[in-house]
Amino acid sequence: MSGGAASAPKPLPSSGPKSLREMPHPLATSSSEEMGPALTPSPDLLLPRSIADKDLSLPNGTPVDTSSPASSSSLLNRLQLDDDLDVETRDLFVTVDDPKKHVCTMETYITYRVTTKTTRAEFDLPEYSVRRRYQDFDWLRNKLEESQPTHLIPPLPEKFVVKGVVDRFSEEFVETRRKALDKFLKRITDHPVLSFNEHFNVFLTAKDLNAYKKQGMALLSKMGESVKYVTGGYKLRSRPLEFAAIGDYLDTFSLKLGTIDRIAQRIIKEQLEYLVELREYGPVYSTWGGLEVELSEPLEGVSACIGNCCTALEELSEDMTEDFLPVLREYILYAESMKNVLKKRDQVQAEYEAKLEAVALKREDRPKVPTDVEKCQDRVECFNADLKADMERWQNNKRQDFRQLLMGMADKNIQYYEKCLTAWESIIPLLQDKPETK
Amino acid sequence: MWCGRRGDKVSSLCLVWLVLHESLFSSSEKMEDCLAKKMEITVSEAEKRTGRNAMNIQETYTAYLIETRAVESQIEGQCAPVESLWRRYSEFELLRNYLSVTYPHIVVPPLPEKRADFVWHKLSADNMDPDFVERRRIGLENFLLRVASHPVLCQDKIFYAFLMQEGGWKEMVNETGFQLKADSRLKALNATFRVKNPDKRFTELKHYSDELQSVISHLLRVRARVADRLYGVYKVHGNYGRVFSEWSAIEKEMGDGLQSAGHHMDVYAASIDDILEEEEHYADQLKEYLFYAEALRAVCRKHELMQYDLEMAAQDLTSKKQQCEELATGTVRTFSLKGMTSKLFGQETPEQREAKIKVLEEQIREGEEQLKSKNLEGRDFVKSAWADIERFKEQKNHDLKEALISYAVMQISMCKKGIQVWTNAKECFSKM
């Protein structure tokens, strides 16, 4: 039994059994390949979001009683943003939820429930439910990188908590991580090649993953050269234009995301400082109200109003920290891993070119290209094809994700202002109230 | 030259000050006699001047143009002529000092602050700063309107001359000799500590005005910090504009959406300047009442002073009566140095005693007269002061309510702007 790549269908861009799944989003422009008739959003898309991308941003059930057009259009958002529109064409659904804390003698850790629903033949059962911890996801990712080196593997949320004293077991941290792990698996699920990877299958189905992991170690040593791409120190003379362009793009992209991350963090910091002052400001009106007779109610009203604005602001900052920043960071990690794949591709091409040159220099009687060099050429062509296909898919998904992320950010700000607006509008009548006496 | 009235922010300014003008006329007092009803008063312009001061040192100051126009003739469709003169801040101060001393039972309207206080970092503390000058111009106009609509103060001739007579006004004020009537601070402080029986209402009022001063100062300080922080939040969003623009350069389909969203972020960042400028007017309204608290205190101090004076006079009278009695009856009830020395060095002759008694009796008579008139004065003062205080309370409640409403309106406007900008940005993002 060889590694995953061998069992999956050869990933050439324009063919493959899951052509529908490769179909770009109908709202994408025509520059991406279109595989068939564009699908229109199906009306029964008001599905519970556990199946489709349950991401960051949508108003979470707050009653839409404000007159702002923004919140009433959120329903429309749901329709427009769903990645796969016809639920019927999908045959694999994966969800990560239900985090639980496990306290053992050696360590304390969190596991997540991974639920799979599928009609694929590669799975013995139509449904699975297993528990996995972060290390298992990490293992999966490594396995995928190893076995599918020509493909872009989605990133995992950061392994270690960098910034000081963040509680690994706090609700917010666990929830943020859960969302990221869910996104990770969904991205793999959506991938026409990766989703058929054997390790992925085992990850989703095995009762005892650790046993398989150990077995996998032994297998690794038996794996053929076809899987291990040589990085034997070959130096590529020049990267082909299109890949150079991708490399440049990723560099600038990472840079810009890094800047946006810093700006967002700065905004959150300023908001929290603003909040500190507001928290002192509101109560002063209350104190004043205590001094007055006729003005007592209006002043108390203003104090309460400011208090409500404080709460709204706190929620906004929390949302930004928990939903916005992690996704930015994820994409920065993504870009990094993609740049590594580009480098691997360079290696493969370099090896091919070197071997080709060596043959040319040997000047053999029969200009028969040795199978060795032929294999290298194949490898290069496959790599290039896989990478191009994945880049295109990545670009589309990135566009979706960022559209959703940024709209979500706008939404949260709109909601914040709507909450404040409601608070201030509601005290106007209180302030205008004429006392009965006099 | 400044064109204050016809400024850019007329709409919100108008809201605030029209409301204020309304309040000036809403008091239940008989307002028909008020100057404010008969005459339009504005401080329409401010101008930088240089001149030589009393010590012949060159200085720069700001002069304010006061314009007045009689109202009545306007009804006939004719435009009455506008009279105008220039005054500087120190003259306003002189006017107010005069009024405070001459009408100690009145809560005299305060002047806008002399130096910029409670500033947040973007606001200049410089007295020559155009924004400060502008807000001061409005404050001075407000001061004149308040005086002109006060039933007692508006009838004052010095005030009238301040508005109408440019030359020789200072001399006129000084000729009233009001400075002599002014109570020394030391005297007032002494009275505050030593008075035994002040009117309870004034004691409570003094307490109230102290607390009011304290709470409004606190409020203004924190508000300035809040403004500072809010400014920071908005301005950082401007950075999004730049980075979205840079990012859009490498994107194909996403580019336009990002670029236009970035523009909205710039709009958002810029919007805070106007918002906070408007809020300064709210702060100015609060400041007026911060300074009014001081005026209230002044009335209380005057009462304490008069009461103390009365108590001292009564005490003096009592001791004189006692002395008289002792001399007449020859008994020494209280220890006195005179008594001791006379015991030691020999008693007085009956003639001497008689003379002393006569002097004392005269003094007692005078004293009783004085006490009576002081008592009357005191009662009059309490009555008229309290009447003005009631008027003031009504004005204060009305004004502060209006100020709070206008503040809420400002906040609502800010929220609506925020919703608008982010909705626009969201739409741009949706087109990515």
| pLDDT tens column, B158-210 | 999 999 988 899 999 999 888 888 888 888 888 889 999 899 999 999 999 99
Output the six-digit token pair for B229.
Answer: 């922080």
Nearest by CB to A410, from B212, B229, B422: name it: B422
Q: Which of residues 280-319 of A touch B (CB under 8 A)?
A: 280-281, 284-285, 287-288, 291-292, 294-295, 298-299, 302, 305
Look at the alpha carbons of B242, B248, B254, B256 in this order and tell me if their dihedral is positive or negative. positive
The rounded distance, in Å, linking the Cα atoms of B133 and B128 is 6
Instruction: Spell out which residues of chain B touch residue A77, defining contact as CB-CB under 8 Å.
Output: 430
Residue of B nearest to A66 (CA): B419
DSSP state of A308: H
**Distance (Å, whole) CA B315 – CA B305:** 15
Out of A298, A407, A427, whose CB is closest to B429? Answer: A407
DSSP reduced 3-state for B48: strand
Nearest CA in chain B to A428: B405
Q: CB-based contact (8 Å) between B240 and chain A?
A: yes
Pairing of strands A108-118, A127-133: antiparallel
- Three-class secondary structure of residue A99 per DSSP: strand
The number of C-beta contacts closer than 8 angstroms across A and B is 149
Q: What is the value of pTM for the model shown? A: 0.79
Tell which B residues from 192 to 211 touch A, by Cβ distance under 8 Å: 208, 211
> CA-based diameter of chain B, in Å?
121
Closest CA to B107 of B161, B162, B147, B148: B147
The number of angstroms, rounded, from the C-alpha of B113 to the middle of its chain's C-alpha atoms is 8
CA B260 – CA B432 distance, rounded (Å)? 10
- Contact B221/A at CB under 8 A: no
Q: What is the pLDDT along chain A (438 residues), one digit of tens a residue?
A: 344 344 444 434 443 344 444 444 444 444 434 333 444 444 443 434 443 333 333 344 444 333 444 444 444 444 444 444 455 578 899 999 999 998 888 888 899 999 999 999 888 999 999 999 999 999 999 999 989 989 999 999 887 665 555 677 788 889 989 999 999 999 999 999 999 999 999 999 998 888 888 776 555 544 444 445 555 667 788 888 999 999 999 999 999 999 999 999 999 999 999 999 999 999 999 999 999 999 999 999 999 999 999 999 999 999 999 899 999 999 999 999 999 999 999 988 988 888 888 877 776 655 566 778 888 888 899 999 999 999 999 999 999 999 999 999 999 999 999 999 999 999 999 888 765 544
For helices B254-329 and B185-194, what crossing angle results, to 10°?
70
Burial of A276 (0-12, 13-18, 19+ CB in 10 A): middle
